[in-house]
Chains A and B, each alone.
Chain A
Amino acid sequence: MRDVPPARASYIHPHDWSATMPDFSAVQAKAARMRIDIVEMIAEAGSGHPGGSLSAADIVATLYFGDVLRYDASQPFWPERDRFILSKGHAAPVFYAALAEAGYFGREHLSTLRKLGSMLQGHPDSRKMPGVEVSTGSLGQGLSIASGLAAGLRGGEVPEPSHDDRTVYCLLGDGELQEGQVWEAAMFAAHEDLSNLVAIVDHNGLQIDGACNEVMCLGTVADKFRAFGWHVTEIDGHDVDAIRGALLAAKAHTGGPAMIVAHTVKGKGVSFMEGDAGWHGKSPSAEQVAIAVAELTPLTEGSAS
């Protein structure tokens, strides 16, 4: 049995980042635990999107468990919270795994994914699930919502706006960048100098019909966002130390929005799913679940759990 994690993430002021370096092995353990949840819940559901959930697991785990995202699972509408928007809504399982791990709801709900009456809808539904800021699932829309939210939070409800460092984090897929609305939002965010907006692209290089660059060439994603006026960094999206460093630097960046292009492997952590577009939206068999769990279980033994 695994220990139940604390529900509250501590408030971290930007000046104090170095004072609370997290235990990276603990974050890696969380990510492994989330990967097992992803595989098991999709198998139980009989459908879902494992590939893009697994590729994003280290990013989402670092956000929630690496002292990056400010939240309080017992108060989903706490005004001072940071906001997270999963623009690639089909990766809902990784989001649900993190929310359960963070204590937004009990783990017993994970087995209800995609079933009638469940709050774990096929794609995130803000009206059904605590911790989901806005419903997503139709690709290309999250960055617009995140931009409007970032603009709306400026000078908002926090008593002292000058100390208001509430940040909106938005996770996009790379195939999703083919949606024109993403670039409308990219223009807007730069034009409005949305320094409180941090976007991450889960750049796993695959989409339903195959390699992104064969379906519709993305070119150099980082250069495109730079050309749109964003501050851009590129990292290994499975290196939790690098992810955290990039997220904190992006949060601290002033003068406009920041983009992290996270190079990832679709299906990461499950040997037979890695790099295979066929696992974009397919449920594993019981035998395949057993193999995946066997591969991932040793990684769940981080020092903190």
Chain B
Amino acid sequence: MTAKNSPKERRIILKHADDPNYSNRLGCYLREGGYEMLKKALKMKPEEIGAEVLKSGVRGRGGAGFPAGMKWKFLDRKSGKPIYLICNADESEPGTFKDRQIMYKDPHQLIEGMMIAAYAIQAKLAFIYIRAEFFEGARILERAIAEAKEKGFCGEKILGSDYSCDLVVHRGAGAYICGEETGLIESLEGKRPNPRIKPPFFPAVLGLYQCPTIVNNVETLCNVKHIIEMGGDEFAKIGKPNNTGTRIWCVSGQVKKPGYYEFECGALTLGEMIFDVCGGLLPGRSLKAVIPGGSSAKILRADERFVGKHKDGTDFDWGIEDVPLDFDGPMAAGSMSGSGGIIVMDDTVDIVEAMANINAFYAHESCGQCTPCREGCLWMKKITTRMCDGDAREEDPDMLLSIANQIEGRTICAFGEAAAWPTQSFIAKFRDEFVQKAKHSKRSKNSLQLI
């Protein structure tokens, strides 16, 4: 990490985001060549756009990393039912704040990406499901849509073509579960956002109003615009095979310069991100652990080694600083890149308190539909909170692990895994600290209160 040039950002999605001369108004977007790609796309056949997106290899930026082009291919086009497009702008994974930057600072990029995607899948209507905490974000989007409609970029007969598609901004109301795509769909239908059982039917077949529906993340939909601009093959050259394009990483926690940084996939390692790009840790601190992909991702311990084999058969042996920042890197290290939210913790952090903080989040956000999740999350919160209140017991780590293991795989949606993974990984990697808690119950004086 010494004497090396800091890796350079490559801003595609956030190209204009922090330009002081750039605003979120249409005039500004048009000056920078805005909506030219929509014009280009409308001259193509819808299936050609789908083919380019598939070729680009772009993977979903919301958390699961599923190839967007493949998702579109699953769409049931034979049913004759209307098709819907939904932009998932719920951005609720703790540690993630990238979609906010796009929507507040460059909303027309999202609208253009969405209208291209809507045309490609021949959607009848498109929605942006935005979290309710983004009050101004919803207003910015509403205004941008009105501007776009006036110029014929969305709504009736887009740019004089035969294709019409309206765009509706829909606000959530503060529930994390609405980021889960079937929970989001239920919420959009006006119901409690209890996720749906899948398989066998995914939203691409039975989604909104039981019609074929595509749900994509904000960043993913913005990428569609750039795929049309470059062509799928060119786009696929950015980043690495199976990890194409750029990603916006959101770094938070105890580094000198937290923030959002857009890099080509695999252009840098976790170590370079923390120590070069983010200016390193606070003075006098050392690295303790990193959660690489939003709070649901499994924690990585600073002194562990990650050893294994790549898909191509080559071996790897990484320290935490060597983990490549792309989709497959954190996955190979036993965690995931998720939504790109990197949470950094230094040696002052009481790991049991951090665990209690995360557990309180999941206990609050469980939708309550499945018993293992509803009850399990609450118990994990209660136990870890009690441990931090000075009443830790020796058997607590095993008890916590047993609860987490009974949630994982026993719920309708992936929230169960998202809530179980932190506990499982914290205890697997920091069991000593959980055991110690029973002996020294007090928080050390330079450690922050986290629960």
Q: Do A and B come from one complex?
A: no
Mark A residues whose CB is within 8 Å of B: none
Mark B residues whose CB is within 8 Å of A: none
